[in-house]
Structure 1
Amino acid sequence: MSVRIGHAAIGEYEPVYVIAEIGLNHNGDPEIAKQLIDVAAASGAQAVKFQKRTPDISTPEHMKLTLRETPWGGMTYLEYRHRVEFGRDEYAELAEHAAFRGIDWFASPWDVPAVADLEEYGVVAHKIASASVTDVELLEAVRDTCKPVILSTGMSTLDEIDRAVEILGTDRLVILHATSSYPMPSEEANLLMIPALKRRFPGVPVGYSGHERGLQISLAAVALGAVAVERHITLDRAMWGSDHAASLEPQGLDHLVRDIRIIGEALGDGVKRVYPGEEAAKAKLRRVLV
């Protein structure tokens, strides 16, 4: 089974769907967001992803008044969330820029009003962040849009994932294996969950959302059958913000997409055949012919 999101189909024997996660790495600046869209488009990624919050709703109560030092001075965590949140005008600008660069965009809504906002902005899909796997009200709101849904599974038990899948349904669903450590150590990758999730949810495309440093683990995920890969991107890992350290800089994203495409070609279709390039060696080296 494949799921179509925007210009691309996600599934077995389709090109691996690469999502460049911008998240909050724009630091509230639409111009940085545009530069990151440019980076993603130039690399050959099929989509960019943002995060959409209604800060007064999605910010945990115990965090709202926590003080935080930011590039704009000291402020409460709630004030910071408002400071970096894009609204209608910014998303209209970014949607136009993404269309100009030929790349799809969508976001992770963190609350029900954010789902309605994203629907107004015309997203091609919705992404359920790992932190939202147990938010039944949000899952139902996303399901009711009838848009494709990508479900990350970090920080979740199998029972929690089962419940989320039951609510969302499987007709337009893509599941991403994930471990929500930032950055993620290799011993927590547990990539064998990719085939395990395929067995648990037959017919549902399964991919990988990575928060590690480097490329090796994401490439191994593709070799293990991941049909989509999501990685955070940044202009510079030294920038201020919680996700930059676990993100790929432009050259890293270029190399990731390049190597994913090579692995995709190398995986083939599982049908044994003698390739034309083997015929000369066969004629020269094989002593006994059948």
Structure 2
Amino acid sequence: MSIFDDLFIFEMANSHQGSVEHGIDIIKEMGKISRKNNIRAAVKLQYRNLETFIHPDYKDRTDVNHIPRFMSTRLNYEQFTQLVEAVREEGMVTMSTPFDEDGIDWCMDQGIDIIKIASCSSLDWPLLEKAATTGKPLIISTGGKSLSDIDKIYNYFTHRKCKFAFLHCIAEYPAPLEHLQLDFIDRMNKRFRDVTIGYSGHEDPDDNTVTMLAIAKGAKILERHVGLPTQTIKLNAYSMNPSQAEKWVEAALKAKVICTTKKQNDKYVSQAEIDSLNSLMRGVYCKRDINEGETITRDDVFFAMPCNNKQMNSGEFYEGVVARKDYAMNSELHETRKITPTKLARSVVHDAKGMLYEAGIALGNDFEVELSHHYGMQHFRQTGAIIISIINREYCKKLLIVLPGQKHPTHAHKVKEETFQLLYGDLHVVIEGQEIDMKPGDIQTVLRGEKHSFTSTTGAIFEEVSTTHVKSDSYYDDVRISSMDPMERKTILKKW
């Protein structure tokens, strides 16, 4: 699990009024919420060295936005250290937004867990350069940034091999609903697949529908400003008091329950759901008396409710089923659908097409599909691969699909040299005994004569670019495969 996943960030509103005591009170309230709801939570501070952050001629100016507030709520390094220790004592993640290079040094000296880059600083290249050298996990807000800007930030930190996350953010305080653009979370998740995407909200603190929608859109991090009103302290229009913060957390957790797929890599279907649908299905009934051994056609049956236990349903019926016993007119048909090689092939084709859809890979209309089943179609999901030939000239391009848990056995080519690039999923390749775990984007070349095999845990799609493919140029270690005619272990599909 990433340090970013399912993280709630409590950002101290209005710099906790420049009071260590008040800041600790806020931290303790957030600690209570964190423990009560058993969440991973961070309290975020803000660091600025005001001696250098503000130009000397402006420090006493009251007509420049933000400067009076910064000056009136200033804390020194030792005071911030007290707040950091209070966060640790509450069992929460320590986090700060440094607005200058000295602030980054403070984060490092205090051992802050996560460094946050504010939206206003996300194109501040001198600051980003120093942040990139820390080795700390970074969370970067993207308020006011175009997609092109975000691409630049992504490339900058990716090239430096930093661990970072993005927050979708609308930098208006408070942010009107019509400006929130939560659909952009979808876009960021698709565009930056290796980066955790979250949401930093500035909308009405009582409106938790936004939080639930952000979860539904795929936000894994949530951030809100929090504070503690007193007789002399009033919160601004976008900050939450402890009661609102707790309701915010509860709404987010509820949304996670609603949105989470319970079964890994598949959709969970409950028995209650199955029973409900089965009660509405049509069963197969005989229109006439049918004798054992007769071939049953569509004209011999009708479909009607109810469908009873062990009765064939309308979706299972197929033309040509052979009666295993005598049936009277209007009686239930109790036959089973045969598992034929054709049915097995159709099943794996559906799975392969689904993987292509999920990976966003379009094939076009001109290709040939080979089901490579080395030990028979009945064992295909254990051993084999789906090979899609797209071009075969002096150069060759194929897409190979490996189903979850499937293995392609050890073999070599005498004529063909090939290079794999993983596009989707995970791929474990063995070349001449050397084991290689590939991740999307990785490239691996297999030279002529090199023995190789591959398998996948969750399923994989990879591109093979090679010299011309020549039939019968695959030489397998297993003599059972080598002794077979190639067409005995292949099923060719012109269309699917």
TM-score, normalised to structure 1, is 0.84
Contact 1:3–1:148 at 8 Å: present in 2 too? no
Query: Which digits, 9 at most, give the CA deviation of each residue in 1:18-69, with x for residues without a partner?
Result: 101115341101111111112222222511101111123333688644316x
Shift of 1:81: 2.1
Structure 1 residues 200, 281: CA separation in 2 closer, same or farther (over 3 Å shift)?
A: closer
Contact 2:168–2:184 at 8 Å: present in 1 too? yes
Aligned residue for 1:54?
Answer: 49
Question: 1:123 and 2:116 equivalent?
Answer: no
Aligned residue for 2:193?
Answer: 202
Structure 1 residues 82, 122: CA separation in 2 closer, same or farther (over 3 Å shift)?
A: farther
Structure 1 residues 244, 60: CA separation in 2 closer, same or farther (over 3 Å shift)?
A: farther
Aligned residue for 2:269?
Answer: 274
Contact 1:56–1:78 at 8 Å: present in 2 too? no
Aligned residue for 1:36?
Answer: 26
Contact 2:97–2:117 at 8 Å: present in 1 too? yes
Give the whole-Å Cα distance in 2 for the aligned partners of 1:222 and 1:211: 16
Q: More displaced, 171-180 or 261-270?
A: 261-270
Q: More displaced, 265-274 or 59-68?
A: 59-68
Give the whole-Å Cα distance in 2 for the aligned partners of 1:62 and 1:262: 51
Contact 1:206–1:228 at 8 Å: present in 2 too? yes
Give the whole-Å Cα distance in 1 for the aligned partners of 2:187 and 2:118: 20
Contact 2:24–2:83 at 8 Å: present in 1 too? yes
Query: Which digits, 9 at most, give the CA deviation of each residue in 1:3-25, with x for residues without a partner?
Result: 32xxxxx34xxxx2110111534
Question: 1:135 and 2:128 equivalent?
Answer: no
Give the whole-Å Cα distance in 2 for the aligned partners of 1:133 and 1:95: 24
Query: Which digits, 9 at most, give the CA deviation of each residue in 1:65-87, with x for residues without a partner?
Result: 4316xxxxxx9964642331222
Structure 1 residues 109, 278: CA separation in 2 closer, same or farther (over 3 Å shift)?
A: same
Give the whole-Å Cα distance in 1 for the aligned partners of 2:210 and 2:69: 32
One-letter identity of the residue aligned with 2:253? R
Shift of 1:95: 2.1
SS of the equivalent of 1:244 reads coil
Aligned residue for 2:341?
Answer: none
One-letter identity of the residue aligned with 2:109? E
Query: Larger helix proportion, structure 1 or 2?
Result: 1
Give the whole-Å Cα distance in 2 for the aligned partners of 1:256 and 1:236: 17
Equivalence map 1:12-91=2 (5 Å)? 16-44=6-34, 46-59=41-54, 64-67=59-62, 78=67, 80-91=69-80
Aligned residues: 273
Aligned residue for 2:241?
Answer: 249
Shift of 1:227: 0.5
* Unpaired stretches in structure 1, ≥5 consecutive residues: 5-9, 69-74
Aligned residue for 1:71?
Answer: none
Shift of 1:171: 4.4
Give the whole-Å Cα distance in 2 for the aligned partners of 1:31 and 1:237: 13
Structure 1 residues 77, 217: CA separation in 2 closer, same or farther (over 3 Å shift)?
A: closer
Contact 2:62–2:68 at 8 Å: present in 1 too? no
Aligned residue for 2:220?
Answer: 227
Aligned residue for 1:186?
Answer: 177
Aligned residue for 1:159?
Answer: 148
SS of the equivalent of 1:24 reads helix
Match among 232, 252, 262 for residue 260 of structure 1: 252
Percentage identity across paired residues of the two chains? 26
Structure 1 residues 248, 80: CA separation in 2 closer, same or farther (over 3 Å shift)?
A: closer
Greater RCO structure (CA 8 Å; 6+ sep): 1
- The structure with the larger Rg is 2
Contact 1:63–1:77 at 8 Å: present in 2 too? no
SS of the equivalent of 2:256 reads helix
CA RMSD of aligned residues (A): 2.7
Shift of 1:222: 0.8
Q: More displaced, 37-46 or 101-110?
A: 37-46
